[in-house]
Structure 1
Amino acid sequence: MPIPPNTPAVDRTLLRDDVYRRLRDAIVDGTFRPGEQLKDGDLAAWLGVSRTPVREALLRLAASGLVVALPGRSTTVSAIDIQVVRDARDVVAAMHELAVREVTGRLSEQDVDRMRDANRRFAGAVASGDVKAALEADEELHRIPVAALGNQALEAVIERFDPLIRRAERMRFGVDGRASVNRHEQLINLIEAGDAKGAASVAFDIWHSLSIDDTEADT
């Protein structure tokens, strides 16, 4: 068959990243439960793609600890391991502390306003019990200082380990959500005031305060 000229190639990077995000989010939001087997053929059919980007996404998810891959055998959603979550929490907390310390005094008024708007939506979602919307608003709020810093190494670390925390955090949102609204407001006020040390300390505490009870493991 003749090949049409001047046809732009499919951006495989975007496809690969989109498949990864879809599978990651399905694990984080509980669509795929711990211990559930993930078959690349079924996932490819579900997403309407070939098996190749699905297999690549599963490898990335394995590197993040969200799935356990046994070559030639099976891939399953990982159990929630308390110590793994705590280790990820400590690393991510340090990354957000660094980002906030470096960008305080440099964030635009528009960025600060966006953080306040995200926290308002976060508070509304917590009040209504909308966990998905709350997590999305929370992620948006914390992404603003990280994006402003522009440190790709720091962003890569957060991208790798944040989903482990989000999955565990989702289980405790009714407990921790309202307190987080106040912590967010304190963080934003300190950033707006140019208090880099204080803002960085609060940013660390927001992430490091996440705790997972032993009874919540492997669920």
Structure 2
Amino acid sequence: MAVMLENSIAGEEDLSLSERAYRHLRDRLIMLDIRPGDPINDGKLAAELGIGRTPVREALKRLESDHLVVSYPRRGTFATIVDITELADVSELRESLEPLAAKRAAKLATPALRAEIRETAAAIAGMGGDDDPYDLMRYDIKVHRLIYRAAANAHLEDVLIRYDNLATRIWCMVLEKVPSVSSHIAEHVELLEAVADGDSERAGKLALEHVTSFEQAIRNVL
């Protein structure tokens, strides 16, 4: 099961080159396709993406503000180290904001988004326990971004994507040690159905439970 993130570089010709590069590199960084501490060569990335170096450099500046890369004078740019000690701080913020986004999504999602949410829930419900854990994590990212988009608040969406990205990097660091990634992803089915049904209180409750179980799962393997 190959899962494509909605923000992959393919099929986004309407976006600027800088935005396309940003989204592509962001997803590689959060899934640890670019490993923590790895040097980042803007020329090589530009060649891989078939674009100039300027859009890549602009993307890297944004990624630095997202705490996904760090630049050092005369040394270059590197993927940031995943700091497990940030888990508590990231979780504290997500425990407040994820339920808010889920409640807003349940109230404000458009009919088209509700249909997409139901389709995603059905796809997750049909998954098996033998699916690739990294594909499962891509579904996790897709679900969260879908809810954030449905919440219809660009500022909330931007903040939550940043913190979900940091949380995903932490999760991917311990992914091989987590007993059942599929059960974590399966939690999304009820949440998505609550959002699609317009049940804001249930959606908020399930979102909080999901974030809390995420943190506990990480702590169990540390």
TM-score range, shorter chain: 0.7 to 0.9
Instruction: Provide closer, same or farther for how the CA distance between residues 15 and 89 of structure 1 changes in structure 2, counting only shifts above 3 A.
Output: farther
TM-score for the superposition, normalised by structure 1: 0.77
Q: Which moved more, 1:39-48 or 1:177-186?
A: 177-186
Aligned pairs for 1:75-86 (under 5 A) are 75-86=77-88
Of residues 195, 199, 217, the one that matches 2:203 is 199
- Asked whether the 8 Å contact 2:194–2:200 carries over to 1, the reply is yes
Equivalent-residue separation in structure 2 for 1:103 and 1:29 (angstroms): 25
Paired position in structure 2 for 1:149: 151
Larger deviation: 200-209 or 12-21? Answer: 12-21
Q: Which amino acid counterpart does residue 185 of structure 1 have in structure 2?
A: V
State the identity %. 30
Q: Aligned in 2, Cα 1:35/1:114: closer, same or farther, shift over 3 Å?
A: same
Residues 37-70 of structure 1, C-alpha deviations (whole Å, 9 max, x = no match): 1122222222222221111111211111112211
Paired positions, count? 206
**Alpha-carbon deviation of 1:92?**
3.3
Offset at residue 158 of structure 1 (A):
1.9
Give the distance between the partners of 1:193 and 1:103, measured in 2 at CA: 10
1:210 partner SS: helix
- Correspondent of 2:188 among 184, 194, 201: 184
Deviations 1:123-165 (A, max 9, x none): 5555232234323333333333322221011011123222212
SS of residue in 2 equivalent to 1:76 = strand
State the Cα RMSD in Å: 2.9
- From the superposition, tell whether residues 128 and 14 of structure 1 become closer, same or farther in structure 2 (CA, over 3 Å): farther
Tell me the amino acid that sits aligned with residue 152 of structure 1: A
Name the aligned partner's letter for residue 164 of structure 2. Answer: D
Aligned residue identity for 1:175: P
Distance 1:147 1:37, change over 3 A: same
Note the 1:12-161 alignment, pairs <5 A. 14-107=16-109, 111-125=113-127, 127-161=129-163
Following the alignment from structure 1 to structure 2, what is the Cα–Cα distance between the partners of residues 163 and 189? 23
Runs of 4+ in structure 1 over 6 Å off:
none
Deviations 1:149-184 (A, max 9, x none): 210110111232222122222343753523334522
Aligned partners of 1:40 and 1:55 also within 8 Å: yes
Conserved 8 A contact 1:99-1:149: yes
If you compute each CA radius of gyration, which structure gives the higher value, 1 or 2?
A: 1
CA contact (8 A) 2:117 2:146 kept: yes
Deviation at 1:110, TM superposition (A): 5.5
The offset of 1:204, in angstroms, is 1.9
- Structure 2, gaps ≥5 residues long: 1-12
